[in-house]
């Protein structure tokens, strides 16, 4: 969808759940994290914001289940993105019709495969993923002309400041080094390029809190098995906001 950030923000205004910083929480597998003051909604209720009916949600969920299980199988890695966080990422990309995605933190490609599978039009999607080390690349990614893996040689946060991206990503999925300085530098770099920033494990440092205060992005937090996934969505069109 063109102007997806406008659609996103309109939807949130319409349903009146953007009054506070911490708002929508999805599918609580483990609600033991008491530090979060959150409003809880289920995945299907969250997706209704985008006009997704129960029937469409079921179809989306069924498709995602098969993507997720094949990804877990192909990646052969105990770690990687969790089930519900993957569902949010998958749904957001599919529903908003996003086609240019940058990901930091490849590991063994669980989230990369979910992102690729989420694209509606598989011919126009472009996914660039980066990592400082790579051990295995699942077959599907090795043979996809829409996927590019970059090995980067820098662990320093300055790296993001000088990053030159021809991709112009609509969505930046941040799942790499979640140390405070690194994550904040990456968030600031992502804000220059993208309308959506999705942060996995955003609870680990205060970087998202600082970024939420200084930036013009709306913040939406989701709880998933003792960790938080945060979506930042741009309030203003990119050309005005930068």
Applying CB under 6 A, which residues contact ligand SAM?
80-81, 104-105, 107-111, 130-133, 152, 155, 175-177
Radius of gyration of the chain from its Cα atoms, rounded to whole angstroms? 17
The owner of tokens 């609580």 is 28
- Output 39 or 152, the one with its CB closest to ligand SAM: 152
Q: Do the strands 217-224 and 227-234 form a parallel or antiparallel pair, or are they unpaired?
A: antiparallel
Pick 141 or 212: Cβ nearer ligand SAM: 141
Q: Which uninterrupted H or E stretch holds 101?
A: strand 100-104
* Pick 10 or 155: Cβ nearer ligand SAM: 155
Residue 41 or 223: the one with the smaller Cβ distance to ligand SAM is: 223
**Shortest Å distance, C-beta 187 to ligand SAM:** 13
The kind and range of the H/E element at 130 are strand 126-131
Tokens 């979640």 found at: 178
CA-to-CA distance for 174 and 224, rounded, in angstroms?
A: 16
- State the minimum distance, in angstroms, from the CB of residue 186 to ligand SAM: 8
Contact between 176 and 197 under an 8 Å Cβ cutoff? The reply is: no
Q: What's CA 157's distance to the chain center, in Å? A: 20
Which residue, 20 or 66, is less far from ligand SAM as judged by CB?
66
Q: Comparing C-alpha atoms, which of 101, 79, 107 is closest to residue 89?
A: 101
- What is the distance between the alpha carbons of residues 132 and 128, in angstroms, rounded to a whole number? 14
The nearer residue to ligand SAM, 12 or 64, going by C-beta atoms, is: 64
Least gap, CB of 39 to ligand SAM (angstroms): 27
- Residue 185 or 223: the one with the smaller Cβ distance to ligand SAM is 185
Three-state SS at 65: helix
Those residues with Cβ within 8 angstroms of residue 79's Cβ, 6 or more apart along the chain or in another chain: 107
d(CA 105, CA 112) in angstroms, rounded, equals 9
Question: In angstroms, how far is the first alpha carbon of the chain from the final one?
Answer: 21
């Amino acid at each position: 969808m063109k102007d997806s950030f406008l659609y996103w923000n309109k939807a949130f205004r319409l349903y009146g759940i953007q009054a506070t910083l911490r708002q929508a929480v999805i599918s609580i597998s483990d609600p033991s994290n008491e530090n979060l003051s959150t409003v809880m909604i289920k995945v299907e209720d969250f997706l209704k914001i985008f006009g997704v009916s129960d029937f469409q949600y079921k179809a989306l969920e069924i498709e995602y289940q098969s993507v997720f299980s094949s990804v877990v199988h192909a990646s052969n890695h105990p770690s990687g993105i969790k089930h519900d966080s993957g569902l949010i990422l998958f749904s957001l990309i599919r529903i908003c019709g996003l086609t240019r995605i940058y990901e930091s933190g490849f590991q063994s490609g669980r989230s990369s495969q979910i992102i690729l599978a989420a694209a509606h039009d598989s011919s126009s999607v472009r996914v660039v993923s980066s990592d400082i080390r790579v051990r295995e690349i699942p077959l599907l990614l090795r043979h996809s002309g829409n996927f590019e893996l970059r090995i980067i040689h820098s662990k320093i946060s300055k790296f993001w400041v000088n990053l030159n991206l021809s991709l112009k990503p609509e969505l930046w999925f941040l799942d790499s080094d979640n140390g405070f300085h690194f994550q904040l530098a990456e968030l600031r770099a992502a804000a220059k390029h993208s309308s959506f920033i999705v942060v996995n494990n955003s609870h680990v440092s205060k970087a998202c809190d600082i970024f939420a205060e200084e930036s013009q992005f709306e913040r939406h937090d989701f709880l998933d098995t003792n960790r938080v996934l945060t979506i930042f969505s741009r309030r203003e069109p990119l050309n005005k906001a930068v």
